[in-house]
Amino acid sequence: MKRILPLFFFLIAAIAAAQPSRQYITVIAEPDHSDWIYRCGEKATFTLYAVKENARMPLTEIEYGYGPEKRKAERSGKVTTGKDGFAKITVPGRKEPGFTTVSVKVTYEGKTYTGQTNIGFDPYSIRPTTTLPDDFSAFWEKEKAKAAEVPMLVKERYCPEQSDDRVDVYYVRIQSFRKGNYVYGVITVPKTPGPKPAILRLPGAAVRAFNGPDPLAYEGFVVLDIGVHGIPVDQDPEIYRQLENGSMSGYVLKGIENKETYYYKRSYIGCVRAVDYLCSREDVDTARIATYGGSQGGMLSIVTAALDERISALFAYFPAFCDVTGYYCGRSGGWPHLFTNPDEPMIEQKVLTSKYYDVVNFARFLKIPGFYAWGFNDIVCCPSSTFSAYNVIPAEKTLCLAKDTGHWLYPWQTEKAMDWLKHQFNMK
């Protein structure tokens, strides 16, 4: 019998791997509001200090700069900490809802140590820059109807070496989008009798392999982990490295000149096809299916829940592709940070295409409860973008913030999400 480690071990190990390693010197910009939130126009006072070996550094020069999130600093300067190790600066308030970044830097023995703090000005009032095309719903209904005519032609391969006395693991291939196009994934099924709640677990940005068993299955869920590139998920790692450096390089830009050809159309429809597959299984309770993912996976979690009424709950952390027209409109935008160059070729056509794929426009149509999590210091999926999506959601929503986090979560955030999901699904 294989030894099964508890769920929290897997969650902590996975999340800790994504957290940044601690610097020898930690440079801190501490705002005078503990929630990091201010009213528009309200000034913020920051206490700056550097910590080495758990002690503040007195008489130390700290360089600072501040300005709109992910934009050029509006002001920079230097201050020297006092004998108590502290220095203070004042940052002016923003005129409109959004985020201001305060960056700090210390040079010590020839090495540079940095830190940053993002403060929000009325973040729950941030409105998106993207707009909803008149034919948005009609476009996606048409695409779903076309894909529904394609037979699934499911192939499953049992994986005994990844299965144990509690779960079975299968590699699956499901035809999707059009004939000869497939969704590949790994499904982990608890051996308990009867239909069980299911999680469609969606991937972050990359081209990579997937393995079983998924640790969430030991909590009683059927878990389907999928890729969204139409590539088998059980190949040698070298194959994925070659793809990322070759034909899959820059996949987020492929076909963006036209909504009919954009890369993510296949991915979005593939997620719906994965739900088709889950609903075809007798061991899945089709009234209890959730989507789950972070970054690109958070993007796909929201999109799938909006496209497919069979989803009954969702968990999305720091979702990507939110309000990607931000840079085009003079403020920060979400990953993958499109339209930073106003002179790029065919930019108007690309902007129009993005509106059919932007998470904001899917968020407008959500009807189910959702649990969301991110931090203010995320420079990949910046909070101006994620709040732009969150603020337009009309359905029940819970936001779990850890302000100091970047593009990662603390274990307690994931634990809260799982407690929330079990409550939604009436699981003991």
Residues designated catalytic: 295, 378, 407
DSSP state of 327: G
- The CA radius of gyration of the chain, in Å to the nearest whole number, is 23
Q: Residue for token digits 């002179």?
A: 343
- According to DSSP, the residues that pair with 201 across neighbouring strands are 225, 292
Cis peptide before 92 (omega within 30 of 0): no
Q: Give the separation between CA 206 and CA 240, rounded to whole angstroms.
A: 9
For strand 55-56 and strand 87-91, is the pairing parallel, antiparallel, or unpaired? unpaired
- What is the full DSSP assignment across 114-149? EEEEEEEESGGG---S----TTHHHHHHHHHHHHHT
Residues comprising the chain, all counted: 428
Name the H helices within 163-309: 237-245, 264-280, 296-307
Contacts of 52 by beta carbon, 8 Å cutoff, 6+ apart: 24, 25, 26, 108
DSSP characters for 218-257? GGT-EEEEE-SSS--SSS-HHHHHHHHHTTTTTGGGTTTT
